[in-house]
């Protein structure tokens, strides 16, 4: 698609040099979400490994389902994560966190190397945060999809998320975790203060996400602002239009009937 010589974009520009291209916004969002502090990445990898340990063995998967049924759980199975399906990560982490007690009991007499993680407060707190933040990112991902989504709507949604990330980081600084439902409920239930190491990892991740989203979704050119709002015409927008187009846009911008 984007090959320098034989890609679709290159061929289109060979015919229409002024044409502009936009990389898939959903893919960009997924790339922006990939980077994270090592200690959070470790928890994510361990969570995937724990799920795969149960799901990849039919007998264990069935036994786990029976255990969940006996405990009256809302869910009977864990969800697998795949890099190709970008929404799967948030769903997998949320399901694993919701079934943490069932998984802990399932691993009670197991020699699985990560069984101890489900008795580790810090590990579970990080898992809760990851479940929450990827649920937020899933919401953004879904908002970027659809036939009626324009490049302007994409930019608005991403900009809102960037501002939210900054606000969430401020709240974490103040010891307020209300933006992260699973983590907030977990801390309330455990009645334990979150260690500074975890708090710092969360803040680092939020700051990194904000930076990555800004890098993958730079601000739109001000020259295009008239497309979204023709009633507020800036000089830089007029500069790229022909004389006839400028006159037509100025007529439109002053038409109060259309504005209403």
Q: DSSP secondary structure string, 31-57?
A: HHTT---HHHHHHHHHHHHHHHHHHTS
With a CB cutoff of 8 Å and minimum separation 6, the contacts of 131 are 90, 93, 94, 96, 97, 182
Q: How confident is the model at residue 59 (pLDDT cuts 50, 70, 90)?
A: very low
- Claim to verify: residue 194 and residue 239 sit in the same structural domain: no
In this prediction, residue 171 carries a pLDDT of: 96
Cα dihedral angle (133, 139, 143, 146), rounded to 10 degrees? 120
- 234: in domain: yes
What is d(CA 46, CA 121) in angstroms, rounded to the nearest whole number? 15
- 14: in domain: no
* Rounded alpha-carbon distances, angstroms, from residue 227 to 44, 231, 234: 42, 10, 11
Mean pLDDT of 139-160: 84
| Crossing angle of helices 196-216 and 25-32, rounded to 10° | 150
- Claim to verify: residue 158 and residue 230 sit in the same structural domain: no
Q: Are the C-beta atoms of residues 28 and 216 closer than 8 Å to each other?
A: yes
- Claim to verify: residue 105 and residue 130 sit in the same structural domain: yes
List % helix, strand, coil for the chain (3-state, nearest 5): 65, 0, 35
In this prediction, residue 87 carries a pLDDT of: 56
Structure tokens, 259: 């504005």
Q: How confident is the model at residue 69 (pLDDT cuts 50, 70, 90)?
A: low
- 254: in domain: yes
Mean pLDDT of 5-18: 73
- Claim to verify: residue 229 and residue 107 sit in the same structural domain: no
Q: How confident is the model at residue 9 (pLDDT cuts 50, 70, 90)?
A: confident
Residue with more model confidence, 193 or 62:
193
Position 84 pLDDT exceeds 50: no
Cα dihedral angle (20, 25, 31, 37), rounded to 10 degrees? 120
- 88: in domain: yes
Share of the chain above pLDDT 70, in %: 69
Position 184 pLDDT exceeds 80: yes
Position 2 pLDDT exceeds 60: no
Q: How confident is the model at residue 248 (pLDDT cuts 50, 70, 90)?
A: confident
Residue 149: Cβ-neighbour burial (10 angstroms; 0-12, 13-18, 19+): middle
Structure tokens, 195: 């260690």
Mean pLDDT of 11-15: 79
- 109: in domain: yes
- pTM (predicted TM-score): 0.77
- Claim to verify: residue 191 and residue 254 sit in the same structural domain: no
- Claim to verify: residue 190 and residue 238 sit in the same structural domain: no
- Claim to verify: residue 43 and residue 124 sit in the same structural domain: yes
Quickly tell me which residue has 């994510």 as its tokens: 44
- Claim to verify: residue 236 and residue 163 sit in the same structural domain: no
Position 58 pLDDT exceeds 70: no
- 173: in domain: yes
pLDDT, one tens digit per residue, over 207-228 is 999 999 999 888 766 656 666 6
CA nearest neighbour of 183 among 87, 102, 98, 114:
98
- Claim to verify: residue 230 and residue 214 sit in the same structural domain: no
In this prediction, residue 29 carries a pLDDT of: 78
Note down the domain range covering 251. 224-259
- Claim to verify: residue 81 and residue 167 sit in the same structural domain: yes
With a CB cutoff of 8 Å and minimum separation 6, the contacts of 224 are 237
- 5: in domain: no
| Crossing angle of helices 151-173 and 25-32, rounded to 10° | 20
- Claim to verify: residue 142 and residue 83 sit in the same structural domain: yes
Per the structure, the count of domains in the chain is 2
- 64: in domain: yes
Angle at 89 between CA 198 and CA 190, to 5 degrees: 40
- Claim to verify: residue 161 and residue 247 sit in the same structural domain: no
């Amino acid at each position: 698609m984007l090959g320098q010589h034989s890609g679709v974009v290159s061929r289109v520009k060979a015919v229409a040099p002024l044409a502009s291209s936009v990389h898939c916004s959903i893919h960009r969002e997924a790339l922006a979400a990939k980077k994270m502090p090592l200690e959070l990445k470790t928890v994510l990898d361990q969570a995937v490994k724990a799920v795969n340990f149960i799901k990849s063995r039919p007998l264990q998967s069935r036994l786990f389902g029976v255990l969940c049924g006996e405990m009256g759980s809302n869910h009977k199975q864990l969800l697998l994560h795949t890099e190709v399906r970008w929404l799967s990560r948030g769903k997998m982490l949320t399901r694993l966190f919701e079934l943490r007690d069932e998984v802990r009991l399932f691993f009670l007499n197991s020699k699985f190397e990560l069984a101890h993680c489900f008795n580790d407060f810090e590990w579970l707190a990080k898992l809760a945060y990851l479940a929450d933040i990827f649920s937020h990112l899933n919401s953004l991902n879904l908002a970027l999809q659809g036939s009626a989504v324009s490049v302007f709507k994409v930019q608005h949604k991403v900009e809102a998320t960037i501002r939210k990330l900054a606000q969430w980081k401020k709240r974490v600084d103040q010891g307020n975790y209300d933006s992260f439902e699973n983590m907030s409920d977990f801390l309330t239930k455990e009645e334990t203060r979150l260690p500074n190491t975890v708090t710092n990892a969360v803040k680092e991740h939020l700051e990194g996400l904000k930076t990555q989203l800004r890098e993958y979704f730079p601000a739109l050119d001000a020259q295009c602002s008239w497309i979204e709002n023709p009633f507020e015409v800036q000089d830089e927008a007029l500069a790229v239009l022909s004389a006839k187009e400028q006159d037509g846009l100025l007529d439109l911008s002053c038409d109060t009937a259309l504005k209403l």
